[in-house]
């Protein structure tokens, strides 16, 4: 079951990304924006921990997100040497657009399923959500 689930996820995500007009918004950049949306503002080290990626990789990604104009940086009031990063209006708008687009693509695909299959998928959602909740 775990192998089948991994394979489905591995094929579903590129399918969704393949239809996106946001070519410079990679999966890791989207994940960073989503993490900032859910948990920001964060220090770069906190973002790295939440995303389970190296600090150096996260730092480069944050620089790129900043260059694209999707995040805001400000000094951490608890430590003047550190910065807090958060989504700005442009980043929030981009994330909303991407979510709207991918939700639409999924809705279209789900709509092609038989009513019985849609019901099974609906019934599986709490278990899938629990897998995510357990991860973080």
Q: For the chain, list the domains and their CATH numbers.
A: 22-135 (1.10.10.10)
CA distance 97 to 72: 19
Across the chain, which has 136 residues, the per-10-residue mean pLDDT values are: 91 77 82 94 96 95 96 94 95 92 91 97 94 72
At residue 135, the pLDDT reads 61
What pLDDT does 136 receive? 53
- 41 upstream amide cis, omega within 30 of 0: yes
Under DSSP, is residue 69 helix (H, G, I), strand (E, B) or coil? coil
Which pLDDT does position 23 carry in this prediction? Answer: 74
Q: Distance (Å, rounded) from C-alpha 13 to C-alpha 34? A: 15
pTM of this prediction exceeds 0.85: no
DSSP for 70-87 reads -EEEEEETTEEEEEEEEE
């Amino acid at each position: 079951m775990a192998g089948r689930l991994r394979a489905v996820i591995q094929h579903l995500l590129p399918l969704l990304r393949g239809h996106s007009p946001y070519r410079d918004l990679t999966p890791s950049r989207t994940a960073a924006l989503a993490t900032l949306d859910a948990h920001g503002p964060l220090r770069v080290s906190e973002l790295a921990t939440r995303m389970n990626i190296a600090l150096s990789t996260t730092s480069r990604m944050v620089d790129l997100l900043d260059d694209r104009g999707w995040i805001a940086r400000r000094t951490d009031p608890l430590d003047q040497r550190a910065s807090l990063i958060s989504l700005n209006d442009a980043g929030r708008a981009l994330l909303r657009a991407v979510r709207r687009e991918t939700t639409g693509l999924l809705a279209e695909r789900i709509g092609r399923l038989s009513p019985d299959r849609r019901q099974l998928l609906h019934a599986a959602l709490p278990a899938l959500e629990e897998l995510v909740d357990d991860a973080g």
